[in-house]
Amino acid sequence: MKKTKALIAACLIFFSGVCMAQNNQKEKAENQLTITGITGKSIKGSPDEKTITKLINDISNQIIKEKLTTKNSSDLSYMLNSKEFIINGALQTEEVHLRYKNQYIKNHTDWNICKNYKAK
């Protein structure tokens, strides 16, 4: 009888721990912001909506063409700025970063170009 009660108590503790972990994951997901577009310090000098859409699509297509990810365009996530380039959560090499930075960021050093990027 004591073993049964101890087993039941252990199971309840385990299941409550699992539920708490799942709730924490849900809270983290709800607190994340998914960004697609260009963010920066100044809106002045920012491209219009059509240009932003084309820029994001061009970067996405180049990433897939260069096989920097195995995901398709709709599942792709990235953030490119003057300091780093992250694709699907993975920091890219300095060589890849510089190539994309020189092609897409150019002199807009305050830009963050994002697609489906989850900000914390």
pLDDT value of position 6 = 43
pLDDT tens over the chain, length 120 residues: 554 444 444 433 444 444 444 444 554 556 678 888 877 765 455 567 788 889 999 999 999 999 998 877 778 999 999 999 999 999 999 999 999 999 999 888 888 999 999 887
Q: State how far the Cα of 35 lies from the Cα of 116, in Å rounded to an integer.
A: 5
What pLDDT shows up at residue 52?
85
The amino acid that residue 102 corresponds to is N
pTM over 0.95: no
- In eight-state DSSP terms, residue 92 is P
| pLDDT confidence of residue 22 | 45
Taking every pair of Cα atoms in the chain, the longest distance, rounded to a whole number of angstroms, is 75
Tally the C-alpha atoms within 13 A of residue 42's C-alpha that lie toward its C-beta: 5
Q: What is the pLDDT of residue 39?
A: 77
Cα–Cα distance measured from residue 35 to residue 111, given in angstroms and rounded to the nearest whole number: 13
Helices marked H in 1-120: 2-31, 49-65, 94-100
At 37 the pLDDT is 81
Q: Where are the domains of the chain?
A: 1-31, 33-119
